[in-house]
Every structure is written in C-alpha cells, then in structure tokens.
Amino acid sequence: MRRNASHWCPVTPLLPSARVILLTGPSGSGKSSLAARTGLPVLNLDDFYKEGHDPTLPLLAEGGGTDWDSPLSWDAEAAVAAIDALCRTARTNVPVYDISTSSRVGESALDIGRTPLFIAEGIFAADIIDRCRDLGHLADALCLRGRPSTTFRRRLLRDLREARKPVPTLVRRGLRLMRSERAIVARQTALGAFACGGETAMGRIAAAAAGRRESVGA
C-alpha cells in the first residue's frame, strides 16, 4: 500500500541544546590552559572587553588610567548574548580583541557543533553566573585558585611575552593584583563560583560532560 505523498513532510533534526561551564579566576590562574586541556569548545570571554575609547570605562583610583580589572570594563550583555546563541543554535560571532591597543580588530565565527557542553572562560565569568542560570544554560561555575606568588609570575611572563602593555604598567598591575588576589577569589565565590585547584576543576568538568552534574553545587 502506497503512502499518500501529500501527507508526508520532511522532519529537520534539531540540534541538542548545549550548556556552559563558566570558568573564572584571577588573571594568570591558568584558566586558558585548563580550558584547552578539556578538549571542549572554548569561548574566550576576555574578547568582550570594551574598547579604549568607550566613555563608560572605569578609572583607577590612584594614578589615573583605565581599570581593566573592573567588571565595568567588560561588556557583560554581549557575552551573555553569545553564550545564549551558542546554547540555542551552536553558533555565534565573537569579537577579536587586541589587548595591546585596547580595541576590537575583527570578528570570528564560533561553531561548537553538536557538543552538549562548552567552556566560557574569563576573569569576569562569575559576574554572569546568575544570568546563565536564569536562562537555563549553566552546567557549572568554577573559580581557579592558587598561590598569589605563582599567579603573579605566570601572569607577568605571559603579559611580557604577548607585549600586552608597557612593562611598568604590567609590573604595577601585577603587584596590585597579587595583593588583592584572595579578595578577588572571595568575590567570585560569593557570586556563585566553586573555588578549587586545576585537578578538582577537571573532575567537575568531566562529571558535567558525563551528565552527572545537573546544576551548580558545592
């Protein structure tokens, strides 16, 4: 018996919705290296910094200049929009940010395919935990922590290698961040991130990838 062709219509398979692991921590704590180790797609949240001419940029209390370590120097709305697009459609466009010139120099396409999980890492990731949770996209939120002296050395070597800013600026910033590192971790934890070392973070990410972690927990 033949099926009436007029009653048949093709069904387009839907992409499974993805969830995000927010990975935060002080600058130089090893977020990018750990994210690369997971093998999961990675959204670099630092590409959502505001440009140097933006009038809403916060200023340092001492000595003037922009406070690039304040969440106000970052476009949280654009970052959340990119995460939402990746979770719903698996695709988004991401600005390419040049830290040395404090400007966006282009745009790149990010496609995470059919993966059910990806990493969004950056020093301000904890500031969007609640919004990602409200959207139903949050798988976990982690804050990498370590010794402030180790973080200082790692951050300074990276910034010098990449020529991010003039050397005196990098040293002053590095010392300021080393003194405030414990307070930075405390703030990110208060926002809902779980503070831990790299191996514990890898274990939680593996659990989320295996579907054993349904929501953020201690």
pLDDT per residue as tens digits for the range 61-86:
776 688 888 999 999 999 999 999 99
Burial of 103 (0-12, 13-18, 19+ CB in 10 A): middle
pLDDT per residue as tens digits for the range 150-159:
777 787 787 7
Output the pLDDT for position 217.
Answer: 45
Which residues of the chain fall below pLDDT 70? 1-16, 63-64, 212-218
Output the pLDDT for position 13.
Answer: 46
Distance CA 94, CA 108 (A): 5
Query: Which domains does the chain possess?
Result: 17-209 (3.40.50.300)
pLDDT per residue as tens digits for the range 175-187:
777 788 899 999 9
